[in-house]
């Protein structure tokens, strides 16, 4: 009968508005939750079949609550370098565990980018979920857009130490333009007689024997770092030539046993260096010293692998790999005054440990070492869906894939609508308190009105029952 249907309609109103109240409560409770997406409850009418003409039966109302996942939250500045936000449609891929991850373990999706480094070195967010990314191997990223298992938990501590072998040494020096010509200069012949080299002289002095080589006019020492992080001393020895503005030059190792030169002990490179009449370094006329590096402004000397290659190479007992070192002489000049080494700058660095982590706009996660080296570890991949609002909400401000969301595609940040990474930022909740409080008022009134329907229907049924009396 119509009175019963009215009562049932009132009950459906109570249930529907209770659901609306619950979603509003969730919204208000998560107003400060990072990247939280507000819930919205929509109402739709229920129409029943009208079996008896002239008698209307109420159907009531039903509530459907959905989360507005696709709504972009405000990007706000954060203090941590590992706090990251997405400006766009993508999602971070996370897992519930870091170690022992298998293909069968569930991958979840989140916009919550408040990541930090845990005790084991993994990047985890506030819900202790592990951020996934494509590993970087030799600066190469192998990204598979359809396979989430190609991503691995990002760990910033399982890296060992970072070593940077020296590749460039810059010398800033002055050579005395009126340097007296050495009496041994006439006999100096490094190509024909290795015993006349300046490297031979240095080795003889180091071994405490009577020098047979040629004493240099000026020696500049520098320290280089090998591929294993060890340090070695190398000298650039200069001998004034009897040709104006010309100097004989040799590069040799100290001690000589560090390298196998195949000739004079420790000798790495020899030749002639020229200067202009104004005292400026003249690389174009110094091809003899530059050798294969000409016409570059900077000569390069190669220290080969100890087990293979030709001399000069690292000594076999050191077990070091190939190393190419560029010697930048552009700041070496010839002028009045004394021979003077002003500064030596090189790019090598010995073993260093991780002291910080940073994320850039391209999604690369890099470790910063205390020896000033920066190493790329992984690249964050962002998951995209044709219909993000169709994702299934999960605990920890995450979502799981669902048929309604469509097929997932993993993309690099900024690629094809995946969204851009904002380092040192967080996405704010999309909850508007003024909107939610207004919703509270209307929901309360609607709930009260639905209860009034039940009360009125109850009174009418009482009247009907009273008719018998």
- At 263-322, the pLDDT tens digits run 889 898 888 899 999 999 888 787 777 654 333 445 566 666 666 666 788 888 888 888
Total residues belonging to the chain: 469
User: Token pair for residue 60?
Assistant: 């009531």
In this structure, are strands 398-400 and 392-394 parallel, antiparallel, or unpaired? antiparallel
% of the chain beyond a pLDDT of 90: 42
pLDDT of residue 296: 41
What pLDDT digit, counting tens, does each position of 374-387 carry? 888 899 999 999 99
Give the single-character DSSP code of 295.
T
307, with CB counted inside 10 A (0-12, 13-18, 19+), is exposed
When computed from its CA atoms, the radius of gyration of the chain, rounded to whole angstroms, is 38
What pLDDT digit, counting tens, does each position of 62-86 carry? 888 888 888 999 999 998 889 999 9
Average pLDDT over residues 148-169: 82
The fold of the 163-351 domain, in CATH, is Tick-borne Encephalitis virus Glycoprotein; domain 1 (2.60.98)
pTM of this structure: 0.69
Residues of the chain with CATH 2.60.98.20: 163-351
pLDDT of residue 51: 66
Q: Is the dihedral of CA 306, 307, 310, 311 positive or negative?
A: positive
- Give kind and range of the element (H or E) at residue 164: strand 162-164
Give the single-character DSSP code of 317.
G
**pLDDT greater at residue 139 or residue 135:** 135
């Amino acid at each position: 009968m119509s009175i019963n249907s009215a009562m049932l309609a009132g009950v459906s109103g109570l249930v529907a508005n209770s659901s609306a109240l619950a979603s509003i409560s969730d919204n208000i409770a998560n107003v400060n939750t990072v990247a939280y997406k507000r819930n919205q409850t929509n109402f739709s009418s229920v129409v029943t079949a009208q079996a008896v003409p002239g008698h209307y039966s109420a159907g009531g109302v039903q509530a459907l609550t959905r989360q507005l996942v696709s709504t972009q939250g405000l990007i706000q500045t954060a203090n941590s370098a590992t706090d990251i936000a997405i400006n766009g449609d993508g999602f971070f891929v996370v897992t519930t565990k870091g170690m022992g991850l298998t293909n069968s373990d569930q991958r979840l999706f989140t916009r919550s980018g408040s990541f930090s480094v845990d005790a084991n070195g993994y990047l985890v967010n506030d819900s202790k979920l592990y951020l996934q990314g494509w590993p970087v191997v030799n600066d190469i990223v192998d990204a598979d857009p359809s396979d989430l298992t190609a991503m691995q938990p990002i760990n910033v501590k399982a890296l060992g130490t970072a070593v940077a072998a020296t590749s460039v040494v810059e010398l800033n020096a002055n050579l005395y333009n009126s340097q007296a010509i050495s009496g041994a200069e006439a006999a100096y012949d490094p190509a024909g007689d290795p015993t006349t080299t300046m490297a031979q002289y240095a080795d003889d002095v180091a071994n405490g024997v009577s020098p047979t080589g040629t004493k240099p006019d000026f020696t500049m020492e520098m320290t280089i770092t090998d591929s294993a992080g060890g340090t070695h001393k190398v000298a650039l020895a200069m001998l004034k030539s009897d040709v104006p503005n010309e100097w004989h030059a040799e590069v040799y190792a100290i001690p000589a046993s560090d390298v196998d030169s195949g000739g004079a002990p420790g000798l790495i490179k020899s030749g002639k260096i020229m200067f202009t009449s104004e005292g400026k370094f003249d690389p174009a006329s110094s091809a003899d010293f530059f050798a294969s590096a000409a016409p570059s402004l900077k000569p390069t000397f190669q220290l080969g692998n100890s087990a293979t290659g030709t001399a000069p190479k690292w000594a076999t007992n050191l077990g070091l790999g190939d190393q190419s070192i560029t010697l930048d002489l552009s700041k070496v000049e010839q002028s009045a005054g004394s021979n003077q080494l002003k500064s030596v700058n090189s790019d090598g660095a010995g073993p260093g440990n991780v002291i910080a982590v940073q994320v850039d706009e391209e999604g690369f996660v890099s470790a910063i070492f205390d020896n000033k080296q920066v190493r790329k570890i992984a690249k964050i991949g962002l998951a995209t869906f044709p219909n993000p609002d169709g994702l299934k909400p999960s605990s920890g401000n995450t979502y799981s894939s669902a048929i309604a969301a469509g097929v997932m595609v993993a993309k690099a940040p900024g690629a094809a609508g995946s969204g851009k990474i904002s380092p040192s930022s967080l996405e704010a909740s999309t909850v508007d308190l003024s909107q939610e409080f207004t919703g509270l008022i209307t929901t309360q009134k609607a709930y009260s009105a639905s209860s009034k329907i039940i009360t009125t229907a109850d009174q009418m049924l009482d009247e009907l029952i009273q008719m018998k009396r």
